[in-house]
Amino acid sequence: MITAETIKINKAPKSRIEEVDFNDLEFGKVISDHMFISDYSDGEWNNVRIEPFGQISFSPTILALHYGQMVFEGMKAFHMQDGNISIFRIEKHYERFMRSLERMCMPPMSYRLFEESITNLIKLDAAWVPKSAGSSLYIRPFVFASEERFGVKISSEYKYIIFSGPVGPYYDKPLRVKVEHQFVRAARGGTGYAKCAGNYGASFYPAHLAKMQGFDQVLWTDGSPDLNIEESGTMNVMFVIDGVLVTPPLSDSILDGVTRDSFLTLAHELGVHTQQRTVSALELEEALKNNILQEAFGTGTAALSTYIQSIDIKGKDYSVPVPGENGVMTRIKNLLMDIRTGKAPDKYNWNTLIKIGQ
């Protein structure tokens, strides 16, 4: 059984934290001092350890590099107003991680291993959790196939690794998006609901083309003639239509976003009506023409939430209001941040606390 005592800890001889400018945290660039590693072989996870963050070496033949058995999670830890640290919704991330692993035919792990690996790593790197508003420590757990063999097969060996890094805001301005009608992110029966690396790699080309056309991101659809909206870039997407918060329903082609779920829960608390239902590009266009599309925004762990300022629908560009402080998005986002930082009660038990100085 995994406990804090069974994790072998090899501390970094010297922290790198002094080298970091916490006022200039480009997303994904700065990495904390330590990483967690466990190896899977003979049907179990073993050799659980925390080491100084650094390079790992492996054979060019490992199966992950060729056939893409690789899944990851993205989570965040926050500095609380009482000086402690909260890690947001470990359980919900665990459930999604297990669904992703299952879809990619990779072995599950116990909740105990997931929770202990994260909390012990973050305890050790607690000083890396940024204090300024809008910043957090991004936590990246991932598993990849490490069996050395290039024959097409399900790997029998894996590595589970976690590292973290302090991050600032993901987007610094409202987004210009286009409804993507040539490419899809995910298909029915595919891997869209799993957080597997290939989903992201496959999204780069359409996103790159959209950027060349002057957009920040694409609005993914289900590829049907109706152009039913699914996600936006690497985020779930939400609309406020005539006062109602509308978001596409979960399916096997939509990621079960932890921020999406938290937003829906908090919308109820704030008295905002919600609907999880199909929204087509045609409905969006009608709503834009009738001035009842009041807000559009993406939600995700990395971005938290980001307004969309314009939507291109088959070459026609529509402006979307950006309501600011009194908007539905902003009110929900502020409540969510207050819960994470201890300024509002954690009614839903979303925070795992790391007590500092104990």
**Which chain residues interact with ligand COI by CB under 6 A?**
74, 200, 234, 300-302
Nearer to ligand COI, 2 or 77 (CB): 77
Q: Which is nearer to ligand COI, 32 or 301 (CB)?
A: 301
| Contacts for 320 with CB less than 8 Å, ≥ 6 apart | 288, 293, 295, 296, 307, 308, 309, 310, 311
Nearer to ligand COI, 217 or 310 (CB): 217
Contact call for residues 148 and 66 (beta carbons, < 8 A): no
**From the CB of 126, what's the least distance to ligand COI, in Å?**
21
Distances from the Cα of 209 to the Cαs of 55, 92, 218, in angstroms? Answer: 33, 34, 10
Report, in Å, the least distance between residue 131 CB and ligand COI.
Answer: 21
Quick one: 7 or 94, whose CB is closer to ligand COI?
Answer: 94
Q: How far is the CB of 137 from ligand COI (least distance, A)?
A: 13
**Sign for the pseudo-dihedral over CA of 111, 196, 336, 131:** positive
Q: How far is the CB of 144 from ligand COI (least distance, A)?
A: 15
Nearest residue relative to ligand COI (C-beta) = 74
Residues forming beta bridges with residue 319, ordered by sequence position: 310
Residue 106 is encoded by which pair of tokens? 């990779």
Assign 60 to helix, strand or coil: coil
Bin 23: left if φ > 0, else alpha if -120 < ψ < 50, else beta.
Answer: alpha
CA of 336: how far to CAs of 10, 276, 301, 345, in Å? 35, 20, 12, 10
Total residues belonging to the chain = 358
Minimal distance in Å, beta carbon 72 to ligand COI? Answer: 7
Q: Give the nearest distance from C-beta 178 to ligand COI in angstroms.
A: 19
Task: Read off the tokens for 86.
Answer: 């909260």
C-alpha distance from residue 239 to each of 174, 221, 283, 331, 354 (Å): 14, 15, 11, 14, 35
Q: How far apart are CA 204 and CA 185, in angstroms?
A: 10
Residue number, 74 or 321, with CB nearest to ligand COI: 74
Judge contact between 331 and 270, C-beta under 8 A: yes
Residue 76 vs 178, nearer CB to ligand COI: 76
The three-class DSSP label of residue 208 is: helix
Pick the closer one to ligand COI by CB: 136 or 294: 136
Q: What secondary structure does DSSP assign to 274-312, as a single string?
A: EEE---BHHHHHHHHHTT-EEEEEEEETTTEEEEEEEEE
Question: Least separation, in Å, of the C-beta of 340 and ligand COI?
Answer: 15
Nearer to ligand COI, 70 or 287 (CB): 70
Backbone Cα Rg of the chain: 21
Shortest approach of ligand COI to residue 256 CB, angstroms?
12
CA–CA distance, 194 with 106 (Å, rounded to integer): 12
Q: Which is nearer to ligand COI, 48 or 195 (CB)?
A: 195
CB of 259 to ligand COI, least distance (A): 7
